[in-house]
Amino acid sequence: MDIHFDVTLGESYHSPQQQARVMTEAWAASNMYCVICGAPHLQSLKNNKPVADLLCPKCHNIFELKSHSGPFGGVIADGSYNTMMARLVDDNNPHLFVMEYKRPEYMVENLWIIPKYFFTPEIIIKRLPLGPNAKRAGWTGCNIAWKSIPSKGKIPIIKRGDVIDPQIVCEKVAATATLATTKINARGWLMDVLYCVEKLEKEDFSLQDVYGYTDYLQKRHQDNHNVQPKIRQQLQVLRDKGYLEFLGGGKYRIKR
Ligand SMILES: [Zn+2]
C-alpha cells in the first residue's frame, strides 16, 4: 500500500477541495482492500452522488470515504439528513472510511474504518436548512458526531502514516460483528452504553460508575424515562455478546 496520492490527477482542477476529492477517491480505489472479507481490491462506484462509494466485488459490502486535510474536528459533514436517516432505518448505510491527509505532501496521515452498525440516529446531527437564496434552498444536511462512536467502532487502518497489517484490521472488524443489530433503537442504546463503559477507562467497573452517565444518556434518549434499568439491560446485552463479564454484586469486567 502506497500512502501517497497521485498528484497528477488533481492538476486539471482549480479548487483544493476538488483536487483532494479526486486524489483521495482514486487513492482508495487503487489501494484499499475489503476490511470485511479481505478481498484485495474495491471497485469505485462511478455516479453523480456527492459521496465516494466503493464496492467489494466479493462480499458486496459498500464503503463510503470521507476525507479531510488535517484532523477532523468533532463532526464529519455528510450529505442529506433525510437520506442518511432513511438509510439507517433500512440498515442500508455504507461502512465509512474516515481519512485525514497531509497537504501539500498529499499523503494519508490517518485512516479508520467505522463499520456501518456503529451508526445510530443519536450521532446524526441535523444541520440548519439552506437559506432561501441558496441554490438548493431548504435542503438539510447532517453532521456525523463521530467522536461519540465507541472506540471499538473506529478501527485504524493507517495510523500517523504507518500502515497496519490488513489481517489485524480485518480481525478487529470481525470482532465487532457481534455488535451488529438491525433494530435501530436497540443499536442506539447499545452503542451509547458501550461508549460510556469505554469512557470509564478501567477494566473493572461498577454499576454505579455507569450510572454516572445517567444524565448524558437521558439527554440522548429523551423519550425514555427509565434510563437506569435500560443501562442494566444493555450491560446484559454486552455480556451476552461477549464484551463483559459479570462479577456479581454490581461489578463488571471488560473481556480482553
Ligand atoms: Zn468484501
Instruction: Give a three-class secondary structure readout of the chain.
Output: CCCECCHHHHCCCCCHHHHHHHHHHHHHHHHCCCCCCCCCCCEECCCCCCCEEEECCCCCCEEEEEEEECCCCCCEEEEEHHHHHHHHHCCCCCEEEEEEEECCCCEEEEEEEECHHHCCHHHEEECCCCCCCCCCCCCCEEEECHHHCCHHHCEEEEECCEECCHHHHHHHHHHCHHHCCCCHHHHHHHHHHHHHHHHCCCCEEEHHHHHCCHHHHHHHCCCCCCHHHHHHHHHHHHHHCCCEEEEECCEEEECC
* Pairwise CA distance, residues 255 & 242, whole Å: 7
Burial bucket for residue 209 (CB in 10 Å: 0-12, 13-18, 19+): middle
What's the pLDDT tens digit per position in 143-177? 999 999 999 999 999 999 999 999 999 999 999 99
Ligand 1 centroid from CA 74, angstroms: 29
The set of residues, in sequence order, having a beta carbon less than 8 Å from that of 51 and lying 6+ positions away, is 64, 65, 66, 78, 79
> What pLDDT sits at residue 117?
94
Q: pLDDT at position 21, please?
A: 87
Instruction: State the Cα–Cα distance between residues 75 and 69, nearest whole angstrom.
Output: 14
Which residues are CB-contacts of 155 (< 8 A; sequence separation ≥ 6)? 35, 112, 113, 114, 115, 169, 172, 173, 176
Q: Report CA(185)–ligand 1 centroid distance (Å).
A: 27
Q: What is the pLDDT of residue 3?
A: 96
The pLDDT value recorded for residue 2 is: 94
State in Å: Cα 83 to ligand 1 middle.
Answer: 24
Distance 99 CA to ligand 1 centre (A): 19
User: How many A from CA of 223 to the centre of ligand 1?
Assistant: 38
Ligand 1 centroid, distance to 84 Cα (angstroms): 23
User: How many angstroms is it from 34 CA to the middle of ligand 1?
Assistant: 5
Q: How far is the CA of 57 from the centre of ligand 1 (A)?
A: 7
- pLDDT for res 47: 60
* 41 Cα–ligand 1 center, Å: 9
Domain ranges within the chain, ordered by starting residue? 7-179, 184-254
58 C-alpha to center of ligand 1: Å? 5
CATH of domain 184-254: 1.10.10.10
Q: Cα 92 vs. chain centroid, distance in angstroms?
A: 14
Q: pLDDT tens, 28-37?
A: 999 999 999 9
For position 51, what pLDDT does the model report? 57
The whole-model pTM stands at 0.91
For position 91, what pLDDT does the model report? 85
What residues of the chain score a pLDDT lower than 70? 47-52
Ligand 1 center to 40 CA (angstroms): 9
Neighbours of ion ligand 1 (CB under 5 A): 34, 36-37, 39, 56, 58-59
Give the β-pairing of 43-44 and 52-55: antiparallel
If you measure from the C-alpha of residue 42 to the centroid of ligand 1, how many angstroms do you get, rounded to a whole number?
A: 8
Instruction: Write the CATH number of the domain with boundaries 7-179.
Output: 3.40.210.30
